[in-house]
Every structure is written in C-alpha cells, then in structure tokens.
Amino acid sequence: MIILHAAWLEGQLFVWGESPLVDESKLPSVRGAVPVIPKAKPFPYDTGPEELLRALESLGFPVEVKRLEKVRAWLPGLGRNPLPSSPIIAEKPVSKAQPSLMPWNVIACSLDMSETVDLLCRVMGKKVLAQGLIPGNDFLWWADALKFAGAMAAGQDYLPDVRLERGEYRACWAPVFSGKYAGELTKHSKTMPSASRALQIEDVSLPPETPAVFVLKEFLSKTLDYMVRSSISRGPGVGKPEAKKRGRKKKPSFDSIHEAWVSALRSSDSLIYGEEHEILQLASWIREWQRPITVLATSPLRLCFRLEEPEKLGLEEGLEEGIEEGIEEGIEEGIDKIELGEIPGKNESPEGGNIEVPKSLWNVRYLLQPYDDPSLLIPAKDAWKLKKSSPLKKYDVKNIRQFLLTSLGQAAGISPGIALSLEKPKPEGYELDTGEAYDFLTAKATALNQAGFGVLLPAWWTRRGTKAHLQTRAKVKSKPTQIGSGLTLEKVINFDWEIALGDKKLTVEELEALAELKTPLVKVRGEWVEVNDAEIRAAIEFWKKNPAGEVSAFDIVKMALGSPSDTGKTGGLDFEGVESSGWIEELLMQLKERAGFEELEPPETFSGTLRPYQVRGYSWLAFLRRWGLGACLADDMGLGKTVQTLALVQQDLENGPNKKARKPVLLVCPTSVINNWKKEAARFTPEMSVMVHHGVTRKKEKEFREEAKKHSMVISSYGLLHRDIDFLKGVHWAGVVLDEAQNIKNPETKQALAARTLNAGYRIALSGTPVENNVGDLWSIMEFLNPGFIGKQAEFKRNFLIPIQAERDQEAARRLKELTGPFILRRLKTDKSIISDLPEKMEMKTYCTLTKEQASLYTAVVKDIEENMEEAEGIQRRGMILSALSRLKQVCNHPAQFLKDNSSIPDRSGKLARLTEMLDVIIENGEKTLIFTQFAEMGRLLKEQLQDTFGCEVLFLYGGTSRKQRDRMIERFQAGEEFLPIFVLSLKAGGTGLNLTAANHVFHFDRWWNPAVENQATDRAFRIGQEKNVEVHKFICAGTLEERIDEIIERKMEVAENVVGTGEEWLTELSNEELKDLFALREEAVEE
Amino acid sequence: MTPYWDYYAPSRPKEVKGGIKAKSKRGKFGENWWARRWIEVLESFNIGARLTRGKSYARRGQVLSIKIDTGLVRAKVQGSSSTPYSVTIKIRTLTGSEWDLLAKKLAQKPIFAAKLLAGEMPEELESVFMEAGLSLFPEKIDDLDTDCSCPDWSVPCKHIAAVYYLMAEEFDRYPFLLFKLRGVDMDDFMSVLGHAEPEEDFEEEPGEGAKLGAEARAGTESVFLSPKARTAPVLVLEEEEEAYTLSPEPLPLDLETFWGKVFERTEKEMETRSKAHIPSVPAALPKSLGKFPFWRGEEDLLDELEEIYRQASPVGMRVFLGEEAKAEGE
C-alpha cells in the first residue's frame, strides 16, 4: 500500500511514496533528548526505490532507477518520531505534545513537464489510482492546480515572454494573472497543503519557506508553457526551421533577436540564441509592449460597463445583481405603437400583444469594480473627483485615473460611443439609441468582455432563453386518438411551422410589418424582445419555403425534446420546440413528466408484492417500451430495480407483443451478480425460464441460438457480451437489459461497442449511480438506449460536455436534462413519495459466486471431510464437523483466509468482488456501512483490502481492540467529520451494545446460524437515532453450504427464533448423508 | 549645379541581415497624421535624392538599431563602408513649466490621454499645443540637431533620412514616442495629468510635473522610456526569486493543513471554481497590445501568435477535463 505524495522543488514535481512499516521495530525509539539541530535520517515510512518504481510503472511511467534521488522532506513529527500522513500508514501516537518540523530523507522521482501533465491528468477526480495506490491530498491538490493551468491555456490568458533561468535566457509562455485569475491565484495557493512544498534538496539544512503563491505561480507557468509548446509540436507549424545552422558552430544564429525569440518560443529547449545585451533590450521592449496589460493586471479594480434601459415604461424588469444606485431619470419621449392586431390576418393571441418601440435613450455607465469585492460598483465620477467617503480610497488612488484612462482608451477602440464620451472632461458614461443599444448588446458587450472589461447587461437579455427573440416552432395537430390503438413512433405526422416573438405568434404580414420598423429591439407586453433584421428576413424566407412539413412521430419527439440532430432544419432560426395537440401532445407530456401513463397491474404470475413506487417504475418501463424507446432505471440501491425489471419482462410474456413471438430477453450484468439475478427470477417470476450463459461449458453459435429460443431470459456477463458478440448479435432479442450499466460508460470499450450492436426490441439500462450527473458517462448509455437521439459523440462533447463541465453553462445543462430526462428515472430512498412506501429496515440477500479457485478448494475440503466422516465418532466426529464448517465458510469468504498464507487478495473471491461493487455505489451516494464477519482474520483482511480499494481509512473492531480504542472509533465514525465510510466489526466484539447509527447499510459478510445474533448486530445501526432507512445485505455463496444455512435459518425462523440456540452444535447431530447434502457444492456456484 | 561629390559612383551599401525593415514597401511612409507630420519636417529640409536613398535604406533594413531617449535618438546604419555609421538626432525637449501648461489643457479632454495611452494620437492635439504656444513637432531647423559619421557632408544625409523614416513608422505604432522625444515619458505624463486635476482632499504638490520633466530630460543613456524601464530587464527577470526571499512562508504545522484535506467539492463550489472557456476570437490578449515595437522578425508576430494560441486552446481544454493523459497507443 502506497500513498503517493508530490511536492514542487527546483522547478519540477517530485513524487515520493509513503507505506506502512513492514517491520515495526524500524521505528526510532522515543527515548532520549531531541537534538537541537535535527539530523536527517531515512523516513521510516518511505516507500523506497523498488516499490516507488513499481508504482510508477503501474501508472504507465516506466522510470529508470538512476532517475530516483534522495531528497529531504520536512515533515511533522513528535519528539523523535515521525507522524504518518494517514492512519492507513500507521496509528498516530497519542500525545499531547506539539508536533515539530523534522527533516527526513525520502527517495523521490522528479518528473519532466510532459510526465507531470500526464500523471496529474490521470489523477484528476480519483481517490485511488490502482489497488493499493492512493494519491495523497497534496498530490490531488496538484491535479487541481493543473486544471487551473489548463483553464488559462484554453482561455488564452498568457503572453510570450523572456525569463532568466539558471543563468540562461529562455523564451517562455507566461500566464497573465489579471482579472479573475488574480483572485484565483491567491485563493488557490491558500489551499495548498504544506506537503506540496515540503521537499528540499539534500544539502540544504533549512526547511523550505518559499511562499505557496510563488510555488503555485511557478508550477502554473511551467505547465502552461509546456502545454503551449506541446500544441506547437503537434500542430501544422511543425517543420518550421528552428534555426538556420551556420558555419561550424553548433550554436544556431538568427537574422535578428526577434527571430531568435520566436524560434525559442517554438522550440523544445526554449533557449534564446543571442547576445546578452540584445536579449536584455528585447526584454525591455517586451515589457514596453505588455505595458497596458501590466497596468490593467496590477490594478485592484476593473472597469465595467453597464447598459441601462430607457426609463421604464411598462413592466419593471430588474437588472443584474450588484446594481446599487438608481437609474437616472430619463425623459419619456413617446412610443411608437403598432397594433399588430390591426394588420389583416388573424391575431390568435387573446391579449392582443402590443409591440412597442420606446424612443427614449439608453445609457452605458462606467463603473469601477474591485476584484476583492465584486459586488461593489463605484461610479467613474468618484475616480475623477475623489470624495472622502469614497470606497476608492482603499485603493492606490494615484494610479486610478491612469488606469481609468488606459482602460477607456482601450475600450474606445472597441466602441465609438466610448471614444466620443472622452471628448468631455470626466466622462461617466454615454447615451445610446435603441439601435446602438442593440449593437452594444449583440456585439460590443462581447468584444469588451473579451478585452477584459466587465459588462453588466439587463437581466432580460442575459437570461434570454426561449422567449426574447424570433423563434420557430412546429405546430402538430394530431387526432386525440386513444393511445394504445396501434400508434407507433413511425407514424408520419403533418405539422406547420410557426414563427413567434415571445409568446406571440406572428403572421407573415406581421413579420413584414416588423421588418419595416427597422428597430432591433421592441417591447412585447412590456418585455424587451430582440427582432434582428436578418432574422426577420430569414424567418420570412424560411416560412415561404417551408410552410409545412411531414416527419415521423419519432422525429417530432426528437424535435420537441431538443435533440441536436434536428436543429439544423429551421434555417438558422432558433428552434423553440413543438406545439402540439392530440395524442402527440399527450405522449410528449407523459415523456417529459414521466407520469400520466397507464399504471399496469403486476403480472399475473408475479410472486410477491410490488410496492407502489415499483408499480410506477415498472409501468414507466413498459410505457417507454410501448413506444420503442430505451429507458434507464437509476433508482437508488435497495429500491428494487431487479423486481421492477423482472415484472416488466414477465408482463411482456403475459400480455405484451412477446406473448406470441416468444423471443428471449438478454440480461447482461457483472459476473458477481449472475446468481443473484437467477435467484431473484426464481423467487419473483417462477414461471419465467431462465438460462445462464456463462462458464466454460456454455453453448455457442447455433447451439446457443436454439437453446436461447427455448428460454424467456438469458443471463450473461459483460465479459462474454464482448467475447460472444458474434453470435449474440445474431439473435433477435425481445429486449436487452444492462445491469450496472455504468459498465458501458466509456463508449470505446469493447463491451460498450458490443452492447450497441445488439439487435433488440427494447433496451433498458439499470444503474444505482446518479448517471444523470455524470455528463461524461451519459453519451454511451444514451446511445445504447436510443441510438442517434442525442447526436454524435463529438457533437455531444461540443454541445454539452465542454459547456457543462468546463464552462458551467446552466443553459446547456438544462437542455441536456430536457433531452435525456424523459429516459432516466432515478428515485432516491429519501424521496418523500418513496420513503412512505419503504419499510424502515429492508433485508436483502445477495447471492455471490465462487471463483474457480474457491470452487476447487471447496471441493477439496468437502472430499476430505467425506473421507474422514465415515470413520470418526463421538467427540472426534463433532470436532471434525465443526472444523469442516469453519473451513468451508473460510473458503467462501476468501481463499487467503482459508490458506492463511498472506497471498494476494484481489480477484480471488466472489463475495469480495460483490462487496466492492456495492460499496462503490454506497460510497458514491455518501452513505456509511457496517460490515460484520464472524472471523477476526477476515475482518483484518477486509480492512486492508478495502483501504487499498477505496483509498480511505477503514475502521476495524474485534476482540483485541481495547475499550479506549473502541470508544474512539465509535466516536469518530458517528461524528462524521472525517471520511470514514466503512466500519468492519467482528460479530462477537461488535454485535452487541454499540450505537452506530451513522451507518444505514449493514453487511453480513458471512452467516451465523442464529438469526437473533445477526439481528442484534443489525440493530447497531437500526435503533433509536437512525434517521434513514436501513438496508441489510446478507451475503450468500449460491450453491454452497451458506445457501443451505440460509434455508435452515428461514425454516427455523418460522418455528421460533431461538430454537437453534446460539451455536453450531446441533449440526453435529445430523447424519452423514444429511451432512453430505449440506456441504455439497452445486454446479451454479462457480463462476466461469 | 550639383556639387562634385555627388558624382561619386553610387556605392552599394553592404547587405544586412536582421536589420529593421520598413513596413512601407512603396510610396509614402507613415500611416497616421502624426507620422506624416514628422516626415514633413524631414522633407522640408530639401535634401533631394538623399530622401529617396534614405527610403530605400529603410526598406532594405540597413538600419541596425535605433535607441530613443529623451531628446535624443541614436542609431546604427549600415552603409557601404564595413563598419556601420552612427547617427544621432537631438531634439529640443520641453521644459517642466511648458508641460504643466499643456497638462492643464489636456485634462479638459480625457480623450487625448486615453488615446495616447491606447496608442493613438488625436489630431486635435496639435491645436492644444498651439493654444499653449508650443509645438509638438520640431518646427525650425534649430529644434533639431542631426549628425552622422558618414563622409557625406550634407546634413541630413541618407542615413539620417532612413532613421527618420523608420521613426515615422514607429510613431505610427506608438505615438507616445513623440512625447518621449520631447522630454516626458508615460509615467511623467500621467502624473502631470493627475496633478492638473487636484483631488478634493489630496494635497497638490505644485511643480512636481516640472520636476519630473526635468528629471526625465536629465535622463542619461536609456534604452527607452522611464528610469524604471531602463533597469527593467534585469529587475523583472529576477523578480520572483527576490520576492520570496523577502517574505518567507514557513510550513504550517497543523496536521490537517500539512497533508491537505480531503476535498469533497459541493456543487456550489464547483460553480465558483475556475471554469475553462475557449474564446471565439483567438489571441485577443496579444492583439490588444498592438504591434511589437521595432519588429524585425520575418513574419508578423501577431499572425504567428494567433496560430499558436488557436492550437494551444484545445490542449488546455483537454488538460482541464483531465483528458490529456498519454493517448493510447502512443
């Protein structure tokens, strides 16, 4: 186990590792006085060269040993003892003493810029890099810093420059920290962990003291420079001569220092070849050239332009926030009004919809906005004539006028109105007519903003979503046919195009009248609306050409939900959507609301009760299937996605199209849940014939096809989906269900590609994670469900991914939600409508599969028992049986627990695999878990393994835990201040008395014969103080002894809970035949 | 009658690489009125064919360097001889009180200052000078004192003319150079303007403008502009190191700050965190700075930058999104 740390030293990122001690005795002794001048010793928790190299290699960085070096790490310690960074490494010694900074030697590897960017990109957003390879928070902090550099490179906030580095002059691309970045830089550097700058070269005996902000600045400069250079080396400009080599000298020469500079800006070594005095002169010219930026960048304020509407005539419309002064009184100069209703032609709008053209003037006001308090907007007047009370006094006043003039001078180049205002002393703003105001809104504002000025626009403009300008919509008139009477989405639908301004529908005549007005902004019902001349012409043109259209109902649905593939159809006009009536309207409403569709009865042969919300979910799946649309059911774990799906499949068999056709449904899931599906199907839909396509003996090709036809459902795994796709895709599936659909979130993976080629009547994806929030993962799942609906991947990236993830564009997020929302149903346990349907405690059995190794160990143990059973008698027989029981349970838990050989842990236990998958979802949902096991050694194994997997501390309580430690653990777990999502407890030590209500998931990793004991353990979480519903997951290896134990428990429960007693003694009374049956391994138990 | 020395066979000047080449390839020099007015001053000296030669020198890049200080221009021009000639042009600078007078007038129209700061010279500026009884351009031959180390006896010679033409182009780009030449640099100019408009509760310091003007004139050898800029290269290049030795920041020992917190970011924090955006107009930042002074590169710097910025943005975006990990198969 390694926690990777990273620190900046000498212009490079150094990576080192921290690991638990193999041998505790390596810790230095606590005794003895602390020397005054600390002498550096090797850091006891240092990962060391071999492991560090292995870790780097596993991340894709094969590094040679000679690149490793010894550096000094200044870390906090107590007395002479080092302190680990996390309890995963070692317990922190309990001491009241203050920690002090101590020098240690660690082995670190320095990365070049390319490796730095690469590695940090890989780390972004991860808690674990690989099993047992955990990035420390200082490491993760650098990944965040790199994001910052990426944003600056993308936003082009940098300039070419010259710098002196180790006596050499180099060309560089230097970030410009002006405007918002100035604040970001300080803010970001304040969050820097000390560990990110705790390294020092070996022969320096003082701890590092470089301020965080300089360290960060240097990192940003270096990475940004690298990004720009790497884009050059990839771009089309490659092959440009770096330098003409002349004469015998290796040193290239250039015609001018400028050429040398440009070449160095492009080259990989960045060295400028020139005479020192020339370079210095160049530098001074660069300084001169960049001067306006420097003035603006060093200013604590920025200039803002605020567009103010003419004196209000109709509705009050608030301006953007931050406006603190009243709008100057304007003079009402009268309004042109056209009664559009008077123009020949129908006016359908009942309100009449007057379009007004106010004639009074607009204003642009100059304001100064401090970066440290952006809500403060100081009128320029204050700067021209400084008052005592002015907030400007806080800032460097002498330069404010120069700053204001420089800014205005720059802005004047963009807007002639601003230039004109500068003809008079102390300008504070200028006036505009409506045409100019429109120009300001549409063109000048963006240009000014891009030049670094603040721009404040009226709110109605900034949030103009669907209303503030000309739009087209498709008007569909469909008959109010009863849905269900043979309508499909293939039906061809007629529709008319309509053009609307705001809420008001326009006729061609009205459009032409609008064009006559020649004013780009009008007021419709008191609200400003944009009527761009070009748009009007485009609208008239478009309309004359396309008064009506004819498309499939599917296309109408796509248009109505804003599918990007259909926006090109409206001649450059904004497409607002579909106005419809009849069944299309009804359908659209049902889709958007995910409600209003027919609620189905549970299938006749469904055994068990569906909860009310499950009926809704299952009916919703059926509703989408009815229209041939794919659906993603993303209910919280524990809400019963499995039963809803089974109900749907069964319903189809009984009443749906599949009643006659009898095609099978393909269900793809992770290997670890194959058995669970099978068991659940047997329990809830006993009539359904299920075939498991798995294991080496599975049928293939034609044989498979024939076998599949005989069943209602075929269950297989993601691994086989890809491996057997050749014949899987040859089957006409009634439907395809992907369980844990996040398995196909990456569209390039083989299983995702395979899933998309399947031939299916309907498609369903199941997921317990909030798929709708992971924009990046959404495309692949949606493309599987409804191919072509959300556009091509590149389009998706451009339209949604970048706007939402990089630009935080709310509008794009809204559009995506509108587009995908109808196909995703996610209900949370905490939803009011759900919670009332749920019991406070839900017990669920999770059927797990044995790995091949587990199966062969199991068989060997059983064989061994059977051989000895015949001969043994009395006490000997009892002892042997009890030990056999224990050994079999160990095998079911984990081979390593059985073998006790410290062998490797991952990928050897079906239970552990399933546990990890479930914990993944639980942790993602921010919930906490208790895991009970009857074996202390299994508990320890789980603790270590889960720490390695999830990269966080896992608490572990067992018989050897002192009372003090136990109380501290419980306190920490309950307090919720630390990230402690998992608590492993041994059934004996933790099963009674404790209060652990912070958890709402309880796992019983292995089973105990007495349900009362299990229930008592469950009650650690399910007791007074618990605010959530508690889910109890009981792990059972299908086809093994464990399943038999479970059956016995169930049976005994019916009699009386305490008949069985607390022990396993009664088992020894069973006959040999009974025992053989109990132990026997059934075929279903084994994974492939 | 042409003097006899003009009968010398016209010697070819030595070819120069990397000299300052005029942007004007044919016809007139100077795009803006102020640059033209500068040329007019030269052309009023009546030096005949030397003007044409000077132009072609300027266009061929025979001028190797130009340094502009307060009231003094020094240049190296490659002629036919093996070593370049030294050219100096001295111009009378304005006195401090003359500047003060001007400043008062200029404050009435902030457009002058704003435009100058933004690299433009308003035409009405000349009339402001005239109202103050001054002139922006050297008027009489007495205002100018030119000299060249070449054997030509005529003053100005073609070498001086070449420098003159190139300066006109530089004034085009950066009109403030004219002020510089007349004795005031940007910082002085701004403080002159500042003092012309007294603040309500700030004490005016009379005559500082004059002081500054005088200081500026007394300015010794300077590469360019203010005393600050003179040392700029060295200062700026060492800035970072110096700054942190001044304010060391020891490592905080609080254990949580030391190793960093687990940062679980809330949606709200995500909103306010840095966003990434690729601007629709590439290289807006360098473009807003205008042309690079005395650019001698083969290609226009801004054109070259535009291409680079355009290519770099997607790389930055990929890094921001965490996608710039080594591409598969690389």
pLDDT value, residue B151: 85
- Which residues, in sequence order, are CB contacts of A415 under 8 Å at separation 6+? A440, A444, A447, A448
Alpha helices in A193-347 (DSSP H): 212-234, 257-266, 276-289, 291-298
Low-confidence winner among A71-80, A367-376, A621-630 (lowest mean pLDDT)? A367-376
Those of residues 391-410 in A touching chain B at CB distance below 8 A are 397-398, 401-402, 405-406, 408-410
With bands split at pLDDT 50, 70 and 90, how would you rate the model's confidence at A721?
very high
pLDDT value, residue A553: 78
Q: How far apart are the first and last CA of chain A?
A: 30
Low-confidence winner among A356-370, A796-810, B278-292 (lowest mean pLDDT)? B278-292
pLDDT value, residue A344: 37
Low-confidence winner among A155-159, A541-545, B127-131 (lowest mean pLDDT)? A541-545
Q: Do B251 and A197 count as a contact with CB atoms less than 8 A apart?
A: yes
Q: What is the DSSP code (8-state) at residue A65?
A: G
Distances from the Cα of A573 to the Cα of A536, A577, A627, A807, A897, angstroms: 9, 12, 30, 24, 68
Find the residue in A nearest to B299 (Cα). Answer: A259
Those of residues 153-182 in B touching chain A at CB distance below 8 A are none
Contacts of B296 in chain A (CB under 8 A): 255-259
Mean pLDDT, residues B62-74 taken together: 84
Q: Is B3 on the interface with A (CB under 8 A)?
A: no
Average model confidence (pLDDT) for chain A? 82
Please check the confidence at residue A737 and state whether its pLDDT lies above 90.
yes
Find the residue in A nearest to B262 (Cα). Answer: A137
Contacts of A154 in chain B (CB under 8 A): 276-278, 313-314, 316-317, 319-320
Q: Is B287 on the interface with A (CB under 8 A)?
A: no
Name the percent of chain A in helix, strand, coil, to the closest 5. 45, 20, 35
What distance lies between CA B248 and its chain's CA centroid?
Answer: 36
Please check the confidence at residue A425 and state whether its pLDDT lies above 70.
yes
The residue ranking higher by pLDDT, A679 or B217, is: A679
Q: Do B277 and A154 count as a contact with CB atoms less than 8 A apart?
A: yes
Mean pLDDT, residues A1014-1035 taken together: 89
pLDDT value, residue A313: 46
Query: Of the segments A467-481, A556-570, B71-85, which one has the largest average pLDDT value?
Result: B71-85
Closest chain A C-alpha to B68 CA, distance in angstroms: 12
Neighbours of A390 (CB within 10 A): 18
Helical pair A1041-1055 and A1072-1079, crossing angle rounded to 10 deg: 110
Closest chain A C-alpha to B287 CA, distance in angstroms: 10
The shortest CB-CB distance from B233 to any of A231, A284, A419 is to A284
pLDDT tens profile A142-192: 999 999 999 999 989 899 999 888 778 999 999 988 766 767 788 888 889
Return the closest-CA partner of residue B32 out of B122, B138, B140: B122
Contacts of B257 in chain A (CB under 8 A): 193-194
Test the A interface: residue of B76, B186, B258 with most A CBs within 10 Å: B258
What share of chain A in percent tops pLDDT 90? 32
pLDDT value, residue A558: 79
With bands split at pLDDT 50, 70 and 90, how would you rate the model's confidence at A505?
confident
Q: What tokens were used for A872?
A: 């043994």
| CB-based contact B79:B159 (threshold 8 Å) | yes
Low-confidence winner among A565-579, A764-778, A870-884 (lowest mean pLDDT)? A565-579
With bands split at pLDDT 50, 70 and 90, how would you rate the model's confidence at A226?
very high
Please check the confidence at residue B175 and state whether its pLDDT lies above 80.
no
pLDDT value, residue B269: 52
With bands split at pLDDT 50, 70 and 90, how would you rate the model's confidence at A623?
very high
Q: Is B327 on the interface with A (CB under 8 A)?
A: no
pLDDT value, residue B263: 55
Q: Do B18 and A255 count as a contact with CB atoms less than 8 A apart?
A: yes
CB-based burial label for A1035 (10 Å; 0-12, 13-18, 19+): buried
Q: Do A228 and B321 count as a contact with CB atoms less than 8 A apart?
A: no
The shortest CB-CB distance from B325 to any of A122, A140, A406 is to A122
The shortest CB-CB distance from A386 to any of B199, B277, B295 is to B199
With bands split at pLDDT 50, 70 and 90, how would you rate the model's confidence at A572?
low
With bands split at pLDDT 50, 70 and 90, how would you rate the model's confidence at A8?
very high
What distance lies between CA A654 and its chain's CA centroid?
Answer: 40
**Buried b or exposed e, range A416-430, using 16+ CB within 10 angstroms:** ebbbebbeeeebbbb
Q: What is the spatial order of strands in the sheet that A713-717 belongs to?
A: A690-692, A713-717, A665-669, A733-738, A760-766, A631-633, A824-825
pLDDT tens profile A88-101: 888 877 777 788 88
With bands split at pLDDT 50, 70 and 90, how would you rate the model's confidence at A351?
very low
Please check the confidence at residue A327 and state whether its pLDDT lies above 50.
no
Angstrom distance (rounded) from CA A238 to CA A259? 16
The shortest CB-CB distance from A284 to any of B116, B224, B289 is to B224
- Which residues, in sequence order, are CB contacts of A532 under 8 Å at separation 6+? A438, A442, A469, A470, A520
Contacts of B300 in chain A (CB under 8 A): none
Distances from the Cα of A471 to the Cα of A536, A579, A810, B166, angstroms: 10, 12, 21, 55
The single-letter code of the amino acid at A1000 is: N
Test the A interface: residue of B117, B186, B253 with most A CBs within 10 Å: B117
Mean pLDDT, residues A92-118 taken together: 88
Q: Is B322 on the interface with A (CB under 8 A)?
A: yes
Return the closest-CA partner of residue A208 out of A46, A398, A321, A75: A75
| CB-based contact B47:B154 (threshold 8 Å) | yes
Contacts of B280 in chain A (CB under 8 A): 450
The single-letter code of the amino acid at A226 is: Y
Q: For each of the domains in chain A, give its residue range(s) and CATH number, in order of start.
A: 2-234 (no CATH), 470-593 (no CATH), 612-835 (3.40.50.10810), 842-1085 (3.40.50.300)
Mean pLDDT, residues A195-219 taken together: 87
Find the residue in B nearest to A194 (Cα). Answer: B258
Please check the confidence at residue A113 and state whether its pLDDT lies above 60.
yes
Q: What is the DSSP code (8-state) at residue B10?
A: -
Q: Do B316 and A150 count as a contact with CB atoms less than 8 A apart?
A: yes
3 state DSSP class of B194: helix
The single-letter code of the amino acid at A553 is: A
Please check the confidence at residue A648 and state whether its pLDDT lies above 80.
yes
The residue ranking higher by pLDDT, A484 or A325, is: A484
What distance lies between CA A992 and its chain's CA centroid?
Answer: 39
The shortest CB-CB distance from A207 to any of B230, B251, B263 is to B251
Q: What is the DSSP code (8-state) at residue B24?
A: -
Those of residues 822-851 in A touching chain B at CB distance below 8 A are none
Where would I find the beta strands (DSSP E) of chain B?
63-69, 72-77, 85-91, 144-148
The shortest CB-CB distance from A195 to any of B260, B299, B315 is to B260
Mean pLDDT, residues A981-1009 taken together: 90
Q: Is B246 on the interface with A (CB under 8 A)?
A: no
Closest chain B C-alpha to A161 CA, distance in angstroms: 10
Find the residue in B nearest to A206 (Cα). Answer: B250
Q: What tokens were used for A200?
A: 């020092």
Place of tokens 């083969």: B298
pLDDT value, residue A575: 66
pLDDT value, residue B273: 59
Test the A interface: residue of B253, B274, B289, B303 with most A CBs within 10 Å: B274
pLDDT value, residue B59: 86
pLDDT value, residue A991: 80
Closest chain A C-alpha to B139 CA, distance in angstroms: 28
pLDDT value, residue A608: 87
Those of residues 246-265 in A touching chain B at CB distance below 8 A are 254-259, 261-262, 265
Size of interface A-B (CB pairs under 8 A): 340
Query: Of the segments A313-327, A431-445, A731-745, which one has the largest average pLDDT value?
Result: A731-745
Please check the confidence at residue A228 and state whether its pLDDT lies above 60.
yes
Q: Is B234 on the interface with A (CB under 8 A)?
A: yes
Those of residues 90-119 in A touching chain B at CB distance below 8 A are 98-101, 117-118
With bands split at pLDDT 50, 70 and 90, how would you rate the model's confidence at A539?
confident
Find the residue in B nearest to A171 (Cα). Answer: B237
pLDDT value, residue A243: 47
Average model confidence (pLDDT) for chain B? 71
Q: Is the backbone of residue A1025 left (phi > 0), alpha (psi -120 to 50) or beta?
A: left
Return the closest-CA partner of residue A573 out of A548, A550, A541: A541
| CB-based contact A989:A964 (threshold 8 Å) | no
Mean pLDDT, residues A282-303 taken together: 78
What share of chain B in percent tops pLDDT 90? 6
Length of chain B: 330
Mean pLDDT, residues A1012-1018 taken together: 86
